[in-house]
């Protein structure tokens, strides 16, 4: 008795502290020698020491990253997330609390920060494999515990019958005030508030910041009884451990993210969009002052509003209702994966700063990797490789790993184009949340092709500026939603051409504020005139940027992607309208696709219609919702995604065509009739009784 039988492997009982230390040691092996040295030096020079142990406070953390005062709230939320992840792989609070350092006043010691940096930079994939859902971990680090759901019987019954990613709205009787859900009451904080005093100071009057450390349900488990039987000596994949695979058995369905907290995270990530690992945030200090910071906040607001199902469904009468409901993991997962899969890429770049030491930069012999870009397709009709609309569900918001386990960090040039009404740094940052920056060269590769307010709102100007561009293009359209009753002769004439059935507007809750909408399209094939047939391929996609962010990818069902006609207008997702010869003086009669974007030929009005899936898939975040936005166009822009040689090639093709047109105009026959006839006979066009073998008619 008490002895291990033959053929069985004895397992050692490890305490949580020992498991955390073993995992941190494994994480440390993911750094190169120079990276680990730089990390240690950075941590010691910018931190504090107590009884021989180096640690960081919130002030040290925010100061090192250089987070500006304009996004101070973002910095506090990020610090809370880091503080929470220092416990990894333990995610639930224990009693008494876990102490991974018996000396340091906070858990932000070097050993714990090694784990955090490995997680945020994507190096964890060589330890936990690519199956680990980092997005779920990110949610846990940002969420709070919704105590009202724990005792709600209706909620318990419903969640027992649905999948892990299926959405379920919060019952009316379970909705609580924001400060309660954020755990601001003393009885909800318990021992976490006492242990992590720094996190308790994160609360403010707005209730927008919730301490991630107090965000999960308390467990009465005694740590002394939680000695785990784990064979850490022979573990090859930490993901095989139930502790990690089950996310410490945390009840994810009782967690919620405050939309306000998510909004602040978005503001910071958008503002540092073009940041590179070796660039300080101060490089883009202009992004954090007016008017730029206002643009980033506006974009972050549109992105945040995409998460609240009640808001986008238009059920509540108050447009601020969305800020009173926490975001569940199922909703968080669906929106991120569907419409903004690259949103959290900036976190990987930001935490790479811990591995860069300016003291060794001037004499470093480490080769700097050139910008990693996917070549612009040269063959007509070929889409860029790995365009983001192919399989966004496979992206987890972090860079891929190199063979040596290092992070293949995206290196993008920070050159931004001269801003216009629509295209600016904030717009590029928003596009980068769902468009791959390398495939479409969003930073440094955008070329202005057409701007309606500059070149004129006409199909002719559009054609002259956009055609013969042999690379992907991004179309941006902004406008204001028309009222239920047309005003003015031109608006009434436009409405007379539309189908009689009209669905509700997607901006029903914000029409009183602005009524502004922004739509767009990505076209990866060259443009051409198409009176009867459409062009484009399955890489073509539509998107909405304001007042909510949404993406509509191709279904592959038919080829009605794009049409262009000077007399019929411009459309996506439907066939060119038929020309009516007698009715309406020959004006086109429109028949919209189930999901389509249509601009009339004068580029004055447009319609976005969403009543199902046809050429493009219906909204993944507004399921079973039908709407139709009829709007007056205020701006229309087209930007090319490609290098300078593509722009020069376009200019060369236009110059050649103009030269050929001039040559055709300059062909004149001699004034003498006999000489003219002789010239035509020599060509075999006239005379000779058909015996000559020249040209033919």
pLDDT of residue 10: 55
Report the mean per-residue pLDDT for the chain. Answer: 74
Question: What does the block give as tokens for 83?
Answer: 């503080």
Per-residue pLDDT at 585: 54
Q: What percent of the chain has pLDDT over 90?
A: 38
- Mean per-residue pLDDT for 542-549? 94
Tens-place pLDDT, residues 125-165: 888 876 789 999 999 999 988 765 555 555 555 655 655 45
* Global model pTM greater than 0.85: no
Which of 14-23, 230-239, 522-531 holds the top average pLDDT? 522-531
State whether residue 508 is helix, strand or coil.
Answer: coil
Per-residue pLDDT tens over the stretch 69-94: 999 999 999 999 999 999 898 888 76
Instruction: Band the pLDDT of 484: cuts 50, 70, 90.
Output: confident
pLDDT of residue 441: 83
Rounded alpha-carbon distances, angstroms, from residue 269 to 317, 335, 385, 426: 31, 17, 26, 11
* Three-class DSSP category at 521: strand
Flag the least confident range among 25-29, 237-241, 519-523: 237-241
Q: Which two tokens stand for residue 501?
A: 């059935």
Rounded to whole angstroms, the Cα distance separating 571 from 588 reads: 13
Q: Per the structure block, which two tokens stand in for 251?
A: 């009840």
Residue-level length of the chain:
697
Q: Which residue has the tokens 């058909």?
A: 690
Tell me how far apart the alpha carbons of residues 342 and 431 are, in angstroms, rounded to a whole number. 10
pLDDT per residue over 380-431, tens digit each? 333 333 444 443 434 433 333 333 333 333 344 456 678 999 999 999 999 9
Other C-beta atoms lying within 10 Å of the C-beta of residue 395: 17
Residue carrying structure tokens 């990276």: 35
């Amino acid at each position: 008795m008490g002895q291990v039988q033959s053929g069985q492997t004895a397992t050692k009982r490890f305490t949580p502290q020992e498991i955390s230390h073993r995992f941190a040691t494994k994480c440390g092996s993911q750094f190169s020698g120079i990276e680990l040295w730089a990390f240690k030096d950075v941590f010691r020079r910018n931190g504090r020491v107590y009884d021989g142990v180096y640690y960081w406070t919130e002030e040290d953390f925010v100061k090192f990253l250089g987070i500006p005062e304009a996004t101070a709230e973002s910095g506090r939320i990020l610090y809370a997330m880091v503080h929470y992840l220092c416990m990894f792989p333990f995610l639930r609070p224990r009693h008494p609390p876990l102490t991974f350092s018996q000396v340091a006043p906070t858990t932000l010691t070097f050993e714990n920060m090694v784990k955090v940096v490995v997680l945020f930079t994507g190096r964890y994939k060589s330890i936990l494999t690519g199956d680990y859902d980092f997005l779920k971990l990110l949610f846990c680090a940002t969420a709070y515990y919704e105590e009202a759901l724990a005792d709600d019987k209706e909620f318990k019954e419903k969640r027992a019958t649905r999948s892990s990613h299926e959405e379920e709205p919060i019952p009316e009787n379970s909705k609580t005030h924001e400060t309660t859900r954020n755990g601001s009451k003393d009885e909800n904080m318990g021992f976490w508030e006492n242990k992590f005093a720094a996190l308790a100071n994160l609360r403010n009057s707005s209730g927008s910041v919730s301490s991630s450390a107090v965000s999960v349900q308390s467990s009465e488990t005694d740590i002394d009884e939680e000695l785990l039987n784990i064979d850490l000596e022979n573990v090859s994949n930490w993901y095989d451990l139930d502790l990690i695979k089950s996310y410490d058995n945390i009840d994810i369905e009782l967690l919620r993210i405050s939309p306000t907290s998510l909004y602040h995270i978005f503001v910071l990530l958008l503002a540092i969009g073009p940041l590179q690992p070796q660039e300080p945030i101060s490089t883009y200090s202009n992004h954090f002052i007016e008017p730029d910071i206002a643009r980033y906040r506006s974009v972050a607001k549109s992105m945040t509003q995409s998460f609240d199902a009640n808001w986008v469904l238009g059920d509540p009468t108050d447009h601020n209702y969305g800020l009173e409901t926490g975001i569940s993991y199922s909703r968080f997962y669906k929106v991120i994966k569907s419409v903004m899969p690259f949103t959290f890429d900036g976190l990987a770049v930001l935490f790479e700063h811990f591995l860069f030491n300016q003291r060794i930069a001037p004499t470093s012999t480490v080769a700097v990797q050139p910008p990693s870009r996917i070549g612009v397709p040269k063959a007509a009709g070929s889409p860029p490789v790995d365009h983001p609309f192919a399989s966004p569900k496979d992206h987890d918001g972090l860079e891929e790993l190199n063979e040596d386990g290092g992070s293949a960090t995206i290196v993008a040039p920070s050159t931004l184009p001269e801003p216009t009404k629509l295209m600016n740094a904030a717009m590029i940052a928003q596009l980068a949340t769902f468009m791959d920056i390398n495939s479409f060269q969003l930073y440094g590769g955008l070329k202005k092709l057409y701007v309606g307010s500059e070149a004129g709102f006409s199909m002719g100007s559009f054609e002259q500026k956009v055609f013969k561009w042999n690379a992907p293009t991004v179309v941006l359209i902004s406008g204001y939603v028309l009222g239920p009753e047309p005003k003015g002769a031109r608006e009434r004439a436009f409405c007379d051409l539309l189908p009689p059935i009209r669905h509700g507007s997607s901006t029903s809750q914000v029409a009183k504020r602005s009524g502004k909408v922004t739509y767009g399209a990505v076209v990866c094939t060259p443009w051409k005139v198409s009176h009867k047939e459409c062009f484009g391929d399955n890489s073509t996609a539509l998107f909405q940027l304001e007042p909510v962010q949404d993406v509509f990818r191709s279904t592959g069902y038919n080829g009605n992607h794009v049409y262009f006609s000077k007399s019929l207008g411009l459309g996506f997702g439907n066939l060119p309208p038929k020309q009516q010869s007698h009715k309406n003086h020959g004006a086109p009669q429109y028949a919209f696709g189930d999901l389509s974007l249509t601009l009339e030929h004068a580029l004055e009005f447009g319609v976005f219609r969403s009543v199902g899936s046809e050429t493009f898939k219906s909204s993944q975040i507004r399921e079973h919702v039908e709407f139709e936005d009829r709007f007056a166009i205020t701006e229309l822009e087209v930007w090319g995604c490609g290098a300078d040689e593509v722009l020069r090639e376009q200019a060369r093709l236009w110059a050649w065509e103009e030269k050929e047109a001039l040559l055709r105009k300059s062909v004149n026959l001699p004034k003498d009739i006999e000489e003219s006839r002789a010239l035509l006979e020599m060509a075999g066009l006239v005379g000779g009784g058909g015996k000559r073998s020249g040209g033919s008619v």
